[in-house]
C-alpha cells in the first residue's frame, strides 16, 4: 500500500510512512481510519457492510 502511495504521489523514500498517511488524512491519533480500508482493502464490505 505505501509503495503504491509513494509511486502515485511521487514521494521520495526518505519521507516517513506515517507522515505520508497523515498528509493524506488517513491517520487519526496514530490509528488508521476507515478510508484506508475502503481505498486499499481487498474486501472493505467485510469490515464495513454499508460500503
Q: Is residue 16 a contact partner of residue 30, using CB atoms and an 8 Å limit? A: no
- pLDDT computed for residue 2 by the predictor: 65
Q: What's the rounded Cα separation, in Å, for the pair 51 and 7?
A: 27
Using the structure block, give the residue that is written with the C-alpha cell 457492510: 49
Distance CA 25, CA 47 (A): 20
Residue 38's φ and ψ, nearest 5 degrees, are -70, -40
Is pLDDT above 70 for 39? yes
What ranges do the domains of the chain cover? 2-47
pLDDT computed for residue 40 by the predictor? 79
User: Per residue in 1-21, pLDDT tens?
Assistant: 667 666 666 666 777 777 878
Using a cut of 0.85, tell me whether the model's pTM lies above it: no
Amino acid at each position: 500500500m505505501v509503495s503504491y502511495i509513494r509511486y502515485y504521489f511521487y514521494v521520495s523514500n526518505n519521507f516517513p510512512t506515517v507522515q505520508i498517511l497523515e498528509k493524506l488524512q488517513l491517520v487519526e491519533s496514530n490509528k488508521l481510519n476507515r478510508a484506508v480500508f475502503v481505498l486499499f482493502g481487498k474486501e472493505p464490505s467485510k469490515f464495513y457492510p454499508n460500503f
